[in-house]
Amino acid sequence: MYAPKTSDLRVHREMKPTWRRKLFLLTAAIILLIGGVGAASLYFTYEPTTLTVAVGPPGSENVRVMQTFAQQLARERASVRLRVVVEAGPAQSAGAISSGTADLAVVRGDLGIPNDGMVVAILRHSVVAVIVPAPGAKASKETRKSKSAKIEKIQQLAGRRIGMVSRSDANQQVLNLILRQYDIPLDKVQVVNLDPSEVGTAIRDDKVDALFVAGQLTGKTFADVVAAASTTKESATFLPIGEAEAIERRFPNYETAEIVANAFGSSPPKPSETIETIGFLQYIVANQALSEDRVAEFARRLYQARQSLSAELPAPLKIEAPSTDKDATVPVHPGAAAYLDGTQQTFFDRYNDLLYWGMILLSFCGSAGAGMVGYLRAGKHAHRSNLLERLIELMQAARIASTPRELDTLEAELDAILAATIREVEDQTVEERALTAFTLALDQARLAIADRRKTLLKRPSAALAFDTEHERVHPA
Protein backbone atom coordinates (compact mmCIF):
# COMPACT_ATOMS: atom_id res chain seq x y z
CA MET A 1 0.00 0.00 0.00
CA TYR A 2 1.33 3.46 -0.96
CA ALA A 3 1.70 5.88 1.92
CA PRO A 4 2.17 9.55 1.08
CA LYS A 5 5.41 10.98 2.32
CA THR A 6 5.97 14.26 4.13
CA SER A 7 7.03 15.90 0.85
CA ASP A 8 3.71 14.83 -0.74
CA LEU A 9 1.79 16.64 1.98
CA ARG A 10 3.92 19.76 1.55
CA VAL A 11 3.32 19.76 -2.22
CA HIS A 12 -0.42 19.50 -1.49
CA ARG A 13 -0.12 22.47 0.79
CA GLU A 14 1.81 24.65 -1.66
CA MET A 15 -0.60 24.00 -4.53
CA LYS A 16 -3.24 26.30 -2.98
CA PRO A 17 -3.05 29.41 -0.79
CA THR A 18 -3.09 28.88 2.96
CA TRP A 19 -6.17 29.69 4.99
CA ARG A 20 -4.35 32.74 6.35
CA ARG A 21 -3.84 34.03 2.84
CA LYS A 22 -7.49 33.40 2.10
CA LEU A 23 -8.48 35.31 5.22
CA PHE A 24 -6.19 38.16 4.18
CA LEU A 25 -7.73 38.24 0.70
CA LEU A 26 -11.24 38.19 2.17
CA THR A 27 -10.39 41.05 4.54
CA ALA A 28 -8.83 43.04 1.69
CA ALA A 29 -11.93 42.44 -0.43
CA ILE A 30 -14.19 43.70 2.37
CA ILE A 31 -12.05 46.80 2.86
CA LEU A 32 -12.07 47.49 -0.89
CA LEU A 33 -15.83 47.00 -0.96
CA ILE A 34 -16.34 49.47 1.87
CA GLY A 35 -13.95 51.90 0.22
CA GLY A 36 -15.76 51.51 -3.08
CA VAL A 37 -19.13 52.17 -1.49
CA GLY A 38 -17.70 55.25 0.21
CA ALA A 39 -16.13 56.51 -3.00
CA ALA A 40 -19.38 55.94 -4.90
CA SER A 41 -21.30 57.83 -2.22
CA LEU A 42 -18.91 60.76 -2.46
CA TYR A 43 -19.07 60.67 -6.25
CA PHE A 44 -22.85 60.77 -6.41
CA THR A 45 -22.95 63.35 -3.61
CA TYR A 46 -20.66 65.80 -5.41
CA GLU A 47 -21.46 64.88 -9.01
CA PRO A 48 -22.71 67.95 -10.94
CA THR A 49 -26.49 68.15 -10.73
CA THR A 50 -28.49 69.73 -13.54
CA LEU A 51 -31.65 71.54 -12.43
CA THR A 52 -34.38 72.61 -14.84
CA VAL A 53 -35.55 76.21 -14.40
CA ALA A 54 -38.72 77.52 -16.06
CA VAL A 55 -38.85 81.23 -16.89
CA GLY A 56 -40.79 83.45 -19.25
CA PRO A 57 -41.93 85.16 -21.35
CA PRO A 58 -39.42 84.84 -24.21
CA GLY A 59 -37.06 87.80 -24.53
CA SER A 60 -37.78 89.08 -21.03
CA GLU A 61 -35.19 90.31 -18.56
CA ASN A 62 -35.82 87.30 -16.33
CA VAL A 63 -34.88 84.96 -19.17
CA ARG A 64 -31.63 86.86 -19.70
CA VAL A 65 -30.83 86.64 -15.99
CA MET A 66 -31.28 82.87 -15.78
CA GLN A 67 -29.43 82.24 -19.04
CA THR A 68 -26.49 84.37 -17.86
CA PHE A 69 -26.45 82.56 -14.52
CA ALA A 70 -26.52 79.18 -16.27
CA GLN A 71 -23.52 80.20 -18.37
CA GLN A 72 -21.61 81.26 -15.26
CA LEU A 73 -22.23 77.93 -13.55
CA ALA A 74 -21.06 76.07 -16.64
CA ARG A 75 -17.88 78.16 -16.90
CA GLU A 76 -17.07 77.60 -13.23
CA ARG A 77 -17.82 73.87 -13.50
CA ALA A 78 -20.04 74.21 -10.47
CA SER A 79 -21.57 71.20 -8.75
CA VAL A 80 -25.01 72.46 -9.78
CA ARG A 81 -25.94 73.42 -13.36
CA LEU A 82 -29.04 74.95 -14.94
CA ARG A 83 -31.09 74.00 -17.96
CA VAL A 84 -33.25 76.99 -18.89
CA VAL A 85 -36.71 76.27 -20.29
CA VAL A 86 -38.45 79.36 -21.68
CA GLU A 87 -42.18 79.43 -21.03
CA ALA A 88 -44.89 81.70 -22.46
CA GLY A 89 -45.14 83.66 -19.22
CA PRO A 90 -44.79 83.57 -15.42
CA ALA A 91 -48.08 81.71 -15.04
CA GLN A 92 -46.78 78.89 -17.24
CA SER A 93 -43.51 78.87 -15.29
CA ALA A 94 -45.46 78.38 -12.06
CA GLY A 95 -47.40 75.59 -13.76
CA ALA A 96 -44.15 73.80 -14.56
CA ILE A 97 -43.45 73.56 -10.81
CA SER A 98 -46.93 72.23 -10.10
CA SER A 99 -46.67 69.63 -12.87
CA GLY A 100 -43.20 68.56 -11.76
CA THR A 101 -41.58 69.30 -15.14
CA ALA A 102 -39.25 71.91 -13.59
CA ASP A 103 -37.11 71.96 -10.48
CA LEU A 104 -36.99 75.75 -10.29
CA ALA A 105 -39.06 78.59 -11.70
CA VAL A 106 -39.23 82.38 -11.79
CA VAL A 107 -42.72 83.41 -10.69
CA ARG A 108 -44.58 86.61 -9.88
CA GLY A 109 -45.69 87.04 -6.31
CA ASP A 110 -48.95 88.74 -7.32
CA LEU A 111 -49.97 85.58 -9.18
CA GLY A 112 -49.31 83.48 -6.08
CA ILE A 113 -46.66 80.93 -5.16
CA PRO A 114 -47.31 77.46 -6.67
CA ASN A 115 -48.67 74.94 -4.17
CA ASP A 116 -45.64 72.71 -4.71
CA GLY A 117 -43.16 75.60 -4.73
CA MET A 118 -41.10 77.22 -1.98
CA VAL A 119 -39.10 80.43 -2.24
CA VAL A 120 -35.34 80.42 -2.70
CA ALA A 121 -34.67 84.11 -3.44
CA ILE A 122 -36.30 87.42 -4.32
CA LEU A 123 -35.16 88.03 -7.88
CA ARG A 124 -36.43 91.59 -8.19
CA HIS A 125 -38.98 94.20 -7.05
CA SER A 126 -41.44 95.16 -9.77
CA VAL A 127 -43.53 98.32 -9.79
CA VAL A 128 -46.62 99.37 -11.71
CA ALA A 129 -46.87 102.62 -13.64
CA VAL A 130 -49.75 104.22 -15.52
CA ILE A 131 -48.20 106.70 -17.96
CA VAL A 132 -49.88 109.30 -20.14
CA PRO A 133 -47.74 110.20 -23.19
CA ALA A 134 -46.71 113.83 -23.61
CA PRO A 135 -48.73 115.60 -26.33
CA GLY A 136 -45.55 116.34 -28.25
CA ALA A 137 -44.84 112.61 -28.59
CA LYS A 138 -47.70 112.27 -31.08
CA ALA A 139 -47.16 112.60 -34.79
CA SER A 140 -49.59 115.41 -35.80
CA LYS A 141 -51.20 118.50 -34.38
CA GLU A 142 -54.62 116.86 -34.54
CA THR A 143 -53.56 113.98 -32.37
CA ARG A 144 -51.76 116.35 -30.00
CA LYS A 145 -55.10 117.94 -29.22
CA SER A 146 -56.70 114.59 -28.39
CA LYS A 147 -58.41 114.14 -25.09
CA SER A 148 -55.73 111.78 -23.83
CA ALA A 149 -53.59 114.77 -22.87
CA LYS A 150 -56.22 115.77 -20.29
CA ILE A 151 -55.83 112.57 -18.22
CA GLU A 152 -54.42 113.54 -14.83
CA LYS A 153 -55.71 110.82 -12.51
CA ILE A 154 -56.72 107.16 -12.54
CA GLN A 155 -60.47 107.92 -12.42
CA GLN A 156 -60.22 109.55 -15.86
CA LEU A 157 -59.24 106.28 -17.51
CA ALA A 158 -62.89 105.35 -18.01
CA GLY A 159 -63.67 105.32 -21.72
CA ARG A 160 -59.99 105.48 -22.66
CA ARG A 161 -57.61 103.24 -24.57
CA ILE A 162 -54.90 101.74 -22.41
CA GLY A 163 -51.83 100.25 -24.00
CA MET A 164 -50.86 97.09 -22.06
CA VAL A 165 -47.07 96.92 -22.46
CA SER A 166 -46.22 93.28 -21.91
CA ARG A 167 -45.05 90.16 -23.69
CA SER A 168 -47.55 88.12 -21.66
CA ASP A 169 -51.03 88.61 -20.27
CA ALA A 170 -49.96 88.54 -16.60
CA ASN A 171 -50.30 92.34 -16.22
CA GLN A 172 -53.99 92.24 -17.12
CA GLN A 173 -54.79 91.00 -13.61
CA VAL A 174 -53.01 93.98 -12.02
CA LEU A 175 -54.80 96.50 -14.24
CA ASN A 176 -58.18 94.94 -13.47
CA LEU A 177 -57.40 95.14 -9.76
CA ILE A 178 -56.61 98.86 -9.99
CA LEU A 179 -59.70 99.60 -12.07
CA ARG A 180 -61.96 97.80 -9.59
CA GLN A 181 -60.35 99.68 -6.70
CA TYR A 182 -61.36 102.94 -8.41
CA ASP A 183 -64.84 101.62 -9.37
CA ILE A 184 -64.10 101.77 -13.09
CA PRO A 185 -66.08 99.10 -14.96
CA LEU A 186 -63.77 96.82 -16.91
CA ASP A 187 -65.92 97.11 -20.02
CA LYS A 188 -65.46 100.90 -19.98
CA VAL A 189 -61.78 100.54 -20.78
CA GLN A 190 -60.32 99.38 -24.07
CA VAL A 191 -57.09 97.42 -23.60
CA VAL A 192 -54.59 97.41 -26.45
CA ASN A 193 -51.88 94.80 -26.05
CA LEU A 194 -48.46 96.11 -27.08
CA ASP A 195 -45.08 94.54 -27.37
CA PRO A 196 -42.43 96.83 -25.86
CA SER A 197 -41.06 97.43 -29.36
CA GLU A 198 -44.47 98.71 -30.54
CA VAL A 199 -44.95 101.46 -27.94
CA GLY A 200 -43.39 104.30 -29.92
CA THR A 201 -45.46 103.57 -33.03
CA ALA A 202 -48.69 103.26 -31.02
CA ILE A 203 -48.09 106.67 -29.40
CA ARG A 204 -47.23 108.43 -32.65
CA ASP A 205 -50.28 106.96 -34.41
CA ASP A 206 -52.54 107.91 -31.49
CA LYS A 207 -53.66 104.33 -30.87
CA VAL A 208 -53.52 104.65 -27.09
CA ASP A 209 -54.40 107.30 -24.52
CA ALA A 210 -52.35 105.85 -21.67
CA LEU A 211 -49.80 103.14 -21.10
CA PHE A 212 -49.72 100.47 -18.41
CA VAL A 213 -46.35 98.90 -17.64
CA ALA A 214 -45.11 96.67 -14.80
CA GLY A 215 -41.59 95.51 -14.16
CA GLN A 216 -38.26 96.43 -12.69
CA LEU A 217 -37.98 100.21 -12.41
CA THR A 218 -34.40 100.15 -13.64
CA GLY A 219 -35.13 97.69 -16.43
CA LYS A 220 -34.89 98.32 -20.13
CA THR A 221 -38.64 98.00 -20.73
CA PHE A 222 -39.48 100.79 -18.30
CA ALA A 223 -36.79 103.07 -19.70
CA ASP A 224 -37.91 102.49 -23.30
CA VAL A 225 -41.59 103.18 -22.49
CA VAL A 226 -40.81 106.43 -20.65
CA ALA A 227 -38.51 107.55 -23.45
CA ALA A 228 -41.15 106.83 -26.10
CA ALA A 229 -43.82 108.71 -24.12
CA SER A 230 -41.67 111.78 -23.57
CA THR A 231 -39.95 114.40 -25.72
CA THR A 232 -36.89 116.52 -25.20
CA LYS A 233 -39.13 119.32 -23.89
CA GLU A 234 -42.11 117.50 -22.42
CA SER A 235 -42.24 114.74 -19.87
CA ALA A 236 -44.75 111.92 -19.79
CA THR A 237 -47.32 112.11 -17.00
CA PHE A 238 -47.21 109.45 -14.27
CA LEU A 239 -50.61 108.87 -12.69
CA PRO A 240 -50.37 108.25 -8.93
CA ILE A 241 -52.18 105.28 -7.45
CA GLY A 242 -53.35 106.86 -4.21
CA GLU A 243 -55.16 103.70 -3.16
CA ALA A 244 -51.90 101.71 -3.00
CA GLU A 245 -52.06 101.18 0.77
CA ALA A 246 -55.67 100.03 0.59
CA ILE A 247 -54.78 97.58 -2.18
CA GLU A 248 -51.88 96.21 -0.12
CA ARG A 249 -54.16 95.63 2.86
CA ARG A 250 -56.74 93.83 0.77
CA PHE A 251 -54.27 91.87 -1.33
CA PRO A 252 -51.06 90.97 0.59
CA ASN A 253 -49.38 89.81 -2.62
CA TYR A 254 -48.94 93.49 -3.50
CA GLU A 255 -46.95 96.18 -1.72
CA THR A 256 -46.91 99.95 -1.73
CA ALA A 257 -44.12 101.46 -3.79
CA GLU A 258 -42.83 104.76 -5.05
CA ILE A 259 -41.37 106.12 -8.26
CA VAL A 260 -39.05 108.85 -7.09
CA ALA A 261 -38.78 112.16 -8.86
CA ASN A 262 -36.29 112.26 -11.74
CA ALA A 263 -36.04 108.46 -11.71
CA PHE A 264 -35.78 108.53 -15.54
CA GLY A 265 -33.93 111.80 -15.99
CA SER A 266 -34.21 115.43 -14.96
CA SER A 267 -34.31 117.30 -18.27
CA PRO A 268 -37.22 117.42 -18.31
CA PRO A 269 -37.87 115.68 -14.96
CA LYS A 270 -39.41 112.26 -15.41
CA PRO A 271 -41.45 112.23 -13.22
CA SER A 272 -41.50 115.72 -11.85
CA GLU A 273 -42.42 114.51 -8.37
CA THR A 274 -42.44 111.26 -6.40
CA ILE A 275 -45.37 109.09 -7.45
CA GLU A 276 -47.18 106.61 -5.20
CA THR A 277 -47.95 103.26 -6.79
CA ILE A 278 -48.08 99.54 -6.09
CA GLY A 279 -45.57 96.79 -6.73
CA PHE A 280 -44.99 93.08 -6.35
CA LEU A 281 -42.08 90.69 -5.93
CA GLN A 282 -40.70 88.22 -8.42
CA TYR A 283 -39.33 85.06 -6.83
CA ILE A 284 -37.12 82.15 -7.71
CA VAL A 285 -38.95 79.15 -6.29
CA ALA A 286 -37.96 75.50 -6.01
CA ASN A 287 -40.10 72.42 -6.03
CA GLN A 288 -40.64 71.45 -2.40
CA ALA A 289 -39.72 67.85 -3.30
CA LEU A 290 -36.22 68.98 -4.33
CA SER A 291 -33.63 67.88 -1.77
CA GLU A 292 -32.35 70.41 0.75
CA ASP A 293 -28.75 69.80 -0.28
CA ARG A 294 -29.36 70.70 -3.91
CA VAL A 295 -31.40 73.79 -3.08
CA ALA A 296 -28.82 74.93 -0.53
CA GLU A 297 -26.02 74.57 -3.09
CA PHE A 298 -28.08 76.42 -5.72
CA ALA A 299 -28.82 79.21 -3.22
CA ARG A 300 -25.16 79.50 -2.28
CA ARG A 301 -24.12 79.83 -5.91
CA LEU A 302 -26.92 82.31 -6.65
CA TYR A 303 -26.18 84.70 -3.78
CA GLN A 304 -22.45 84.56 -4.42
CA ALA A 305 -23.02 85.43 -8.09
CA ARG A 306 -25.07 88.60 -7.48
CA GLN A 307 -22.30 91.06 -8.26
CA SER A 308 -21.00 89.19 -11.29
CA LEU A 309 -24.53 88.86 -12.67
CA SER A 310 -25.15 92.60 -12.30
CA ALA A 311 -21.90 93.27 -14.15
CA GLU A 312 -22.91 91.08 -17.11
CA LEU A 313 -26.54 92.25 -17.42
CA PRO A 314 -27.64 95.53 -19.05
CA ALA A 315 -29.91 96.42 -16.10
CA PRO A 316 -28.88 96.40 -12.43
CA LEU A 317 -29.96 93.32 -10.53
CA LYS A 318 -30.45 93.16 -6.79
CA ILE A 319 -31.20 89.63 -5.65
CA GLU A 320 -32.44 89.61 -2.06
CA ALA A 321 -32.98 86.98 0.59
CA PRO A 322 -36.54 86.26 1.71
CA SER A 323 -37.48 86.33 5.36
CA THR A 324 -36.90 83.00 7.08
CA ASP A 325 -39.01 83.91 10.12
CA LYS A 326 -41.83 81.60 11.06
CA ASP A 327 -44.42 84.29 10.30
CA ALA A 328 -42.98 85.09 6.86
CA THR A 329 -45.58 85.81 4.17
CA VAL A 330 -44.10 83.25 1.76
CA PRO A 331 -42.78 79.73 2.48
CA VAL A 332 -39.00 79.44 2.18
CA HIS A 333 -37.45 76.18 1.06
CA PRO A 334 -35.60 74.46 3.94
CA GLY A 335 -32.46 74.20 1.82
CA ALA A 336 -32.41 77.95 1.14
CA ALA A 337 -33.23 78.68 4.79
CA ALA A 338 -30.34 76.46 5.91
CA TYR A 339 -27.92 78.43 3.75
CA LEU A 340 -29.30 81.83 4.74
CA ASP A 341 -29.34 80.99 8.45
CA GLY A 342 -25.89 79.44 8.34
CA THR A 343 -27.15 75.99 9.36
CA GLN A 344 -26.28 74.20 6.11
CA GLN A 345 -24.72 70.85 6.91
CA THR A 346 -21.65 69.38 5.26
CA PHE A 347 -21.43 65.77 4.10
CA PHE A 348 -19.88 64.69 7.40
CA ASP A 349 -22.42 66.71 9.40
CA ARG A 350 -25.28 64.95 7.65
CA TYR A 351 -23.86 61.46 7.89
CA ASN A 352 -21.84 61.75 11.10
CA ASP A 353 -24.17 59.48 13.07
CA LEU A 354 -24.30 56.95 10.24
CA LEU A 355 -20.51 56.90 9.96
CA TYR A 356 -20.17 56.59 13.73
CA TRP A 357 -22.51 53.62 13.97
CA GLY A 358 -20.96 52.14 10.84
CA MET A 359 -17.52 52.21 12.47
CA ILE A 360 -18.94 50.62 15.60
CA LEU A 361 -20.65 47.92 13.53
CA LEU A 362 -17.46 47.33 11.54
CA SER A 363 -15.45 47.06 14.76
CA PHE A 364 -18.00 44.65 16.21
CA CYS A 365 -17.93 42.52 13.07
CA GLY A 366 -14.13 42.50 13.16
CA SER A 367 -14.08 41.45 16.82
CA ALA A 368 -16.71 38.81 16.22
CA GLY A 369 -14.79 37.51 13.22
CA ALA A 370 -11.55 37.41 15.16
CA GLY A 371 -13.30 35.60 18.01
CA MET A 372 -14.81 33.09 15.63
CA VAL A 373 -11.44 32.50 13.97
CA GLY A 374 -9.85 32.04 17.40
CA TYR A 375 -12.58 29.63 18.43
CA LEU A 376 -12.23 27.60 15.25
CA ARG A 377 -8.46 27.58 15.55
CA ALA A 378 -8.73 26.41 19.15
CA GLY A 379 -11.08 23.60 18.14
CA LYS A 380 -8.84 22.56 15.27
CA HIS A 381 -5.79 22.73 17.53
CA ALA A 382 -7.46 20.40 20.04
CA HIS A 383 -8.47 18.05 17.21
CA ARG A 384 -4.91 17.92 15.87
CA SER A 385 -3.53 17.37 19.36
CA ASN A 386 -5.84 14.38 19.72
CA LEU A 387 -4.64 13.03 16.36
CA LEU A 388 -1.02 13.39 17.40
CA GLU A 389 -1.75 11.64 20.70
CA ARG A 390 -3.47 8.86 18.79
CA LEU A 391 -0.49 8.48 16.42
CA ILE A 392 1.81 8.16 19.43
CA GLU A 393 -0.52 5.51 20.90
CA LEU A 394 -0.52 3.64 17.58
CA MET A 395 3.29 3.76 17.48
CA GLN A 396 3.47 2.36 21.02
CA ALA A 397 0.84 -0.28 20.25
CA ALA A 398 2.79 -1.34 17.16
CA ARG A 399 5.95 -2.01 19.23
CA ILE A 400 4.12 -4.55 21.44
CA ALA A 401 1.86 -6.11 18.82
CA SER A 402 1.97 -9.94 18.99
CA THR A 403 0.54 -10.77 15.54
CA PRO A 404 0.74 -9.31 12.03
CA ARG A 405 -3.07 -8.99 12.08
CA GLU A 406 -2.84 -6.47 14.91
CA LEU A 407 -0.34 -4.53 12.84
CA ASP A 408 -2.76 -4.57 9.90
CA THR A 409 -5.45 -3.08 12.11
CA LEU A 410 -3.09 -0.36 13.32
CA GLU A 411 -2.00 0.42 9.78
CA ALA A 412 -5.62 0.70 8.61
CA GLU A 413 -6.27 3.29 11.31
CA LEU A 414 -3.13 5.16 10.19
CA ASP A 415 -4.49 5.24 6.63
CA ALA A 416 -7.78 6.70 7.86
CA ILE A 417 -5.96 9.42 9.82
CA LEU A 418 -3.81 10.18 6.78
CA ALA A 419 -6.84 10.49 4.47
CA ALA A 420 -8.56 12.91 6.86
CA THR A 421 -5.39 14.98 7.16
CA ILE A 422 -4.98 15.17 3.38
CA ARG A 423 -8.51 16.60 3.11
CA GLU A 424 -7.59 19.25 5.68
CA VAL A 425 -4.46 20.06 3.71
CA GLU A 426 -6.59 20.52 0.58
CA ASP A 427 -8.86 22.90 2.53
CA GLN A 428 -5.81 24.89 3.70
CA THR A 429 -6.75 24.47 7.35
CA VAL A 430 -3.47 22.92 8.54
CA GLU A 431 -0.65 25.10 9.80
CA GLU A 432 2.96 24.48 8.89
CA ARG A 433 4.00 23.47 12.39
CA ALA A 434 1.05 21.13 12.81
CA LEU A 435 1.77 19.55 9.43
CA THR A 436 5.41 18.96 10.40
CA ALA A 437 4.46 17.37 13.72
CA PHE A 438 1.81 15.21 12.05
CA THR A 439 4.14 13.89 9.33
CA LEU A 440 6.84 13.14 11.92
CA ALA A 441 4.41 11.20 14.11
CA LEU A 442 2.96 9.41 11.08
CA ASP A 443 6.41 8.38 9.84
CA GLN A 444 7.39 7.12 13.29
CA ALA A 445 4.18 5.10 13.60
CA ARG A 446 4.72 3.50 10.18
CA LEU A 447 8.35 2.73 11.02
CA ALA A 448 7.25 1.10 14.26
CA ILE A 449 4.72 -1.04 12.38
CA ALA A 450 7.28 -2.01 9.74
CA ASP A 451 9.95 -2.88 12.31
CA ARG A 452 7.52 -4.93 14.36
CA ARG A 453 6.28 -6.76 11.27
CA LYS A 454 9.84 -7.75 10.35
CA THR A 455 10.45 -8.96 13.87
CA LEU A 456 7.31 -11.10 13.97
CA LEU A 457 8.01 -12.67 10.57
CA LYS A 458 11.48 -13.76 11.68
CA ARG A 459 10.08 -15.70 14.67
CA PRO A 460 8.86 -19.30 13.91
CA SER A 461 6.56 -19.15 16.90
CA ALA A 462 5.09 -16.06 15.56
CA ALA A 463 4.54 -17.72 12.18
CA LEU A 464 3.03 -20.77 13.89
CA ALA A 465 0.81 -18.57 15.99
CA PHE A 466 -0.19 -16.74 12.89
CA ASP A 467 -1.06 -20.02 11.07
CA THR A 468 -3.00 -21.31 14.06
CA GLU A 469 -4.89 -18.12 14.38
CA HIS A 470 -5.56 -18.19 10.65
CA GLU A 471 -6.88 -21.77 10.77
CA ARG A 472 -9.08 -20.95 13.75
CA VAL A 473 -10.60 -17.96 12.07
CA HIS A 474 -10.72 -19.55 8.60
CA PRO A 475 -11.21 -23.36 9.07
CA ALA A 476 -10.85 -25.60 6.01
Report the pLDDT value the prediction gives residue 22, as an integer from 0 to 100. Answer: 61
User: Do both 338 and 363 map to the same domain?
Assistant: no
Domain-terminating residue out of 350, 372, 400: 350
User: For residue 393, is it within any domain?
Assistant: yes
Q: Tell me, what CATH number does 306's domain have?
A: 3.40.190.10
Q: How far is CA 109 from the centre of its chain?
A: 28
User: Do both 131 and 30 map to the same domain?
Assistant: no
User: For residue 258, is it within any domain?
Assistant: yes
In the chain, pLDDT over 90 holds for what percent of residues? Answer: 48
User: For residue 49, is it within any domain?
Assistant: no
Q: How far is CA 353 from CA 36, 37, 350, 461, in A?
A: 20, 17, 8, 85
Question: Is residue 233 a contact partner of residue 227, using CB atoms and an 8 Å limit?
Answer: no
Domain-terminating residue out of 295, 325, 350: 350
User: Do both 428 and 460 map to the same domain?
Assistant: yes
User: For residue 55, is it within any domain?
Assistant: no
Strand partners of residue 126:
216, 280
Q: What is the 3-state secondary structure (H, E, C) of the chain?
A: CCCCCHHHHHHHHHHCCCHHHHHHHHHHHHHHHHHHHHHHHHHHHHCCEEEEEEECCCCCHHHHHHHHHHHHHHHCCCCEEEEEEECCCHHHHHHHHHHCCCCEEEEEHHHCCCCCEEEEEEEEEEEEEEEECCHHHCCCHHHHCCHHHHCCCHHHHCCCEEEEECCCCCHHHHHHHHHHHCCCCHHHCEEEEECHHHHHHHHHCCCCCEEEEEEECCCHHHHHHHHHHCCCCCCCEEECCCCHHHHHHHCCCCEEEEECCCCCCECCECCCCCEEEEEEEEEEEEECCCCHHHHHHHHHHHHHCHHHHHHHCCCCCCCECCCCCCCCCCCECHHHHHHHCCCCCCHHHHCHHHHHHHHHHHHHHHHHHHHHHHHHHHHHHHHHHHHHHHHHHHHHHHHCCCCHHHHHHHHHHHHHHHHHHHHHHHCCCCCHHHHHHHHHHHHHHHHHHHHHHHHHHHCHHHHHHHHHHHHHHCCC
Domain-terminating residue out of 350, 385, 412: 350
Q: Which long-range contacts (CB under 8 A, 24 or more apart) does 142-145 make?
A: 143/205, 143/206
pLDDT digits 0-9 by tens, 376-433: 555 566 667 777 788 788 888 878 888 888 888 888 888 888 787 777 766 656 667 7
Domain range for residue 269?
Answer: 120-350
Q: Which of 58, 93, 60, 55 is nearest to 313 (CA)?
A: 60
User: For residue 89, is it within any domain?
Assistant: no
Q: How far is CA 142 from CA 63, 162, 205, in A?
A: 41, 19, 11
Report the pLDDT value the prediction gives residue 251, as an integer from 0 to 100. Answer: 92
Report the pLDDT value the prediction gives residue 166, as an integer from 0 to 100. Answer: 85
Pairing of strands 255-259, 275-287: antiparallel
For the whole model, what pTM was predicted? Answer: 0.65
Report the pLDDT value the prediction gives residue 444, as an integer from 0 to 100. Answer: 84
The low-confidence residues of the chain, meaning pLDDT below 70, are: 1-28, 30-31, 34-47, 140-149, 344-356, 358, 362, 364-383, 425-431, 460-476
User: Do both 285 and 172 map to the same domain?
Assistant: yes
As a whole number of angstroms, the longest Cα–Cα distance in the chain is 158
Report the pLDDT value the prediction gives residue 298, as an integer from 0 to 100. Answer: 95
- For 167, other C-beta atoms within 10 Å of its C-beta total 20
Angstrom distance (rounded) from CA 396 to CA 186 = 122
User: Do both 209 and 332 map to the same domain?
Assistant: yes
User: For residue 195, is it within any domain?
Assistant: yes
Angstrom distance (rounded) from CA 402 to CA 408 = 12
Contact partners, residue 342, CB within 8 Å, separation at least 6? none
Report the pLDDT value the prediction gives residue 6, as an integer from 0 to 100. Answer: 46
User: Do both 328 and 442 map to the same domain?
Assistant: no
User: For residue 88, is it within any domain?
Assistant: no
User: Do both 212 and 228 map to the same domain?
Assistant: yes
User: For residue 84, is it within any domain?
Assistant: no
User: Do both 226 and 276 map to the same domain?
Assistant: yes
If one counts the domains in the chain, the total is 2
Report the pLDDT value the prediction gives residue 342, as an integer from 0 to 100. Answer: 84
Report the pLDDT value the prediction gives residue 365, as an integer from 0 to 100. Answer: 65
